[in-house]
Amino acid sequence: MSRLPVPSLVVCLAAAVLIALPGCHSGAPSADQQIRIKGSDTLVGLGQRWAEAFIALHPEVFISVTGGGSGTGIASCEEGSCDVAQASREIKADEQQKIKAAIGNDALEYVVAWDGISVIVNPANPIHQITLAQLSDMYTGKITNWRDLGGPDAEIVLLARETSSGTYAFFKKTVLQLGGKLKDADYTDSAILSTSNVTIHDEVAANPNAVGYVGLAFVDDKVRTLAVAHDAKGPFLQPHTDNILDKTYPIARPLYNYLAHAPTGVVKQYMDFILGPEGQKLVTEMGFVPVPKPAARSGATHGR
């Protein structure tokens, strides 16, 4: 699989806060006034907005928000190098086992928002809808030309997230493997891998023959989303709020925060904030779908 150029997506919010709120701190912050957040690149922008809003209320707190992928965040949870792991996929059983072996208990899971993975094409592309089976055939290399989908005689430029991405893993299981029906299905080597939703968006916006998938928050008028159906009978649905919340959109998913321990102190304050009205309002402002009644769950395993 090929790779697109890697953009700089890592954000250290603590540094930004020092610029935005000068004079609020004297010396290094104590450990109990710091929150380290790592993980999903899909969630890194929302995590930054949450952190900025929380720090506006609690200027004594330092928060760092970095990406690197859901797997990176969950591994950091095991290693103790983060307080909150952001993930765009559910934790895997082996990851949970490693955390339990390392710290003696399961990670605590919070659903913090909902998302619809959006299949995007260039506005000049005449294709408007697609089935999961057609998407699977595209991303496994069985369909390589747009004419096979009723489009122009042009080679499909296939864009995907990199392997550490939770979106990569969720799309593979839900779309390429059709929810587990094709367990051996995998990405074709011709797929171009990218570390970010932004890079995929920009390539699709510039290339009439490109197709990719991104989180709902990364869709704008420079690209167009395809309506997706489970099969040719339909219905073909767009990733709209109602379709995501009632799970009729075929590629709807929850977005998670994982914590190694039950939150206390400023971490608990932060989690209460992002799951409360103000935090969930920011979910909507960032283009995701808020959770009506968010809840924590310990002992989370994959396949739920």
Q: What is the pLDDT of residues 87-107, one digit of tens each?
A: 999 999 999 999 999 999 999
Residue 303 lies in a domain: no
Is residue 51 domain-shared with residue 134, that is, in the same domain?
no
Is residue 92 domain-shared with residue 158, that is, in the same domain?
no
Tell me the per-residue pLDDT of 241-292, one tens digit each, with 9 for 90 and over. 999 999 999 999 999 999 999 999 999 999 999 999 999 999 999 999 999 7
Is residue 57 domain-shared with residue 175, that is, in the same domain?
no
Residue 138 lies in a domain: yes
3-state SS assignment for residue 254:
strand
Is residue 129 domain-shared with residue 192, that is, in the same domain?
yes
Residue 52 lies in a domain: yes
Residue 108 lies in a domain: yes
Domain of residue 170: give its range.
118-245
Q: Residue 130 has what pLDDT?
A: 98
- DSSP for 112-123, written as a single string: EEEEEPEEEE-T
The Cα 58–Cα 60 span in angstroms is: 5
Domain CATH number, residue 40: 3.40.190.10
Q: Among 245, 264, 283, give the residue marking a domain's end.
A: 245
Q: Among 200, 220, 245, give the residue marking a domain's end.
A: 245
Residue 73 burial class via C-beta count within 10 angstroms: exposed 0-12, middle 13-18, buried 19 and up: buried
Is residue 185 domain-shared with residue 78, that is, in the same domain?
no
Is residue 124 domain-shared with residue 240, that is, in the same domain?
yes
Is residue 99 domain-shared with residue 163, that is, in the same domain?
no
Is residue 122 domain-shared with residue 240, that is, in the same domain?
yes
Report whether 213 contacts 116 (CB < 8 A): no
Residue 304 lies in a domain: no
Region of residue 170 (phi > 0: left; psi between -120 and 50: alpha; otherwise: beta) = alpha
Q: Taking every pair of C-alpha atoms in the chain, what is the biggest distance, in angstroms?
A: 64
Q: Residue 195 has what pLDDT?
A: 86
Is residue 278 domain-shared with residue 195, that is, in the same domain?
no
Residue 250 lies in a domain: no
Is residue 20 domain-shared with residue 41, that is, in the same domain?
yes
Is residue 156 domain-shared with residue 101, that is, in the same domain?
no
What is the pLDDT tens value at each position of the chain, 304 positions in all?
Answer: 666 544 433 333 333 333 233 334 445 667 789 999 999 999 999 999 999 999 999 999 999 999 999 999 999 999 999 999 999 999 999 999 999 999 999 999 999 999 999 999 999 999 999 999 999 999 999 999 999 999 999 999 999 999 989 999 999 999 999 999 999 999 999 999 998 999 999 999 999 999 999 999 999 999 999 999 999 999 999 999 999 999 999 999 999 999 999 999 999 999 999 999 999 999 999 999 999 764 555 554 433 3
The Cα 29–Cα 62 span in angstroms is: 7
Residue 92 lies in a domain: yes
Could you tell me the CA-to-CA distances from 202 to 9, 64, 159, 205, 264 in Å, in that order? 14, 27, 11, 5, 40
The Cα 286–Cα 272 span in angstroms is: 19
Full-model pTM: 0.84
Task: Centre a 10 Å sphere on the Cβ of residue 244 and count the other Cβ atoms it contains.
Answer: 23
Is residue 220 domain-shared with residue 134, that is, in the same domain?
yes
Residue 191 lies in a domain: yes
Q: Residue 8 has what pLDDT?
A: 34
Number of domains observed in the structure of the chain: 2
